[in-house]
Amino acid sequence: MSVAQQPVVVARELKQVYKISHGAFHPADQLQAVSGVSFSIQPGKTLAVVGESGCGKSTLARMVSLIETPSAGLLTLGTVDVMRATGAERHALRRTVQLVFQNPYGSLNPRKKIGAILEAPLEINTQLTAEERASQARAMLALVGLRPEHYDRYPHMFSGGQRQRIAIARALMLKPALIVADEPVSALDVSIQAQVLNLLADLQRELGLAYLFISHDLGVVRHIADDVLVMYLGHAMEQGDKRTLFAQPLHPYTQALLASTPGITGSGASRQRIVLKGELPSPLNPPAGCVFSTRCPHVTAQCQATRPVLRELAGRQIACHLAEQFIHPAA
């Protein structure tokens, strides 16, 4: 019998609340950026977090990558409770989780050569000699498909796809267990996106990496994810295995996202194109019931009055009062 692996990251009811000040004589408003999101990621697996701009994806990424401290909930990296970790423990944890940013043109220092960019994490966090750092940097260049001569070149001499390979190499220099990739291919040409996604998949297989993959593009998510978390206005709408969600999305928001993505079909998404009307509500004043109720084509009085809780249904978790009516026996 095989022993179950320890999850790389576990989040339980994770919340992030920002206080918005209106001056000394006015009470501060509270903005619920993330409202009680839970998930775990095993080594070698990818959780994709999807949703429109403003849904809380990037806030979630900042919490998991330790840029921000959650307002409430449980966040565990490896076996360490982030909320209770000492300063020294948090410093050590930062080596186990690394970020790959959206913009490959803005994430690399234009004044430094690629070799120095890759060696910087080792110089700060290890006791390696200059020769050892250079050796590891050159090996990492080869691992991400770049040539030895690229070591002595500057970022402006590379294409967007090559720069993102360099950014991925930098993220891997400290041998992290988790990579948080925040829209890592959205700034690239479509022809280059597939190359970078294939590189991420190859590195995952070779190194056993776990990915938290932030994206608004379900076409990209279809290729890289194992599990999908659909967020709207800081809340989890639907969550589960990628194949289950893509084959039969049960939440109207997931259906709308899938139906609006070219080339993706499923029993719910392929029936009709769903056009969402209206704008995303303000997180400072969310709807009283379901947060999606102001744009949902199936909204009822119950939806407007009572916020649905995340529950198990048809092989996934879903927060929708009406989800049963979207289950089709043929799926």
Which one-letter DSSP state was computed for residue 143?
Answer: H
The amino acid at residue 300 is T
Q: Is residue 114 part of a domain?
A: no
Q: Is residue 101 part of a domain?
A: no
Question: For residues 310 and 258, what is the distance between their CA atoms, to the nearest angstrom?
Answer: 20
Question: For residues 314 and 269, what is the distance between their CA atoms, to the nearest angstrom?
Answer: 16
List, for residues 55-97, the tens digit of each pLDDT value.
999 999 999 999 999 999 999 999 999 999 998 999 899 999 9
Q: Is residue 22 part of a domain?
A: yes
Q: Is residue 271 part of a domain?
A: yes
Question: For residues 280 and 287, what is the distance between their CA atoms, to the nearest angstrom?
Answer: 11
Q: Is residue 152 part of a domain?
A: no
Q: Is residue 126 part of a domain?
A: no
Q: What is the mean pLDDT of residues 271-288?
A: 78
- Containing structural domain, residue 311: 9-96+176-326
Q: Is residue 163 part of a domain?
A: no
List, for residues 158-185, the tens digit of each pLDDT value.
999 999 999 999 999 999 999 999 999 9
Question: For residues 328 and 324, what is the distance between their CA atoms, to the nearest angstrom?
Answer: 9
CATH number of 87's domain: 3.40.50.300
Q: Which residue has the higher pLDDT, 199 or 19?
A: 199
pLDDT over 90 for what percent of the chain? 76
> How many domains would you assign to the chain?
1
Q: Is residue 89 part of a domain?
A: yes
pTM recorded for the entire structure = 0.92
What mean pLDDT, rounded, does the chain reach? 91
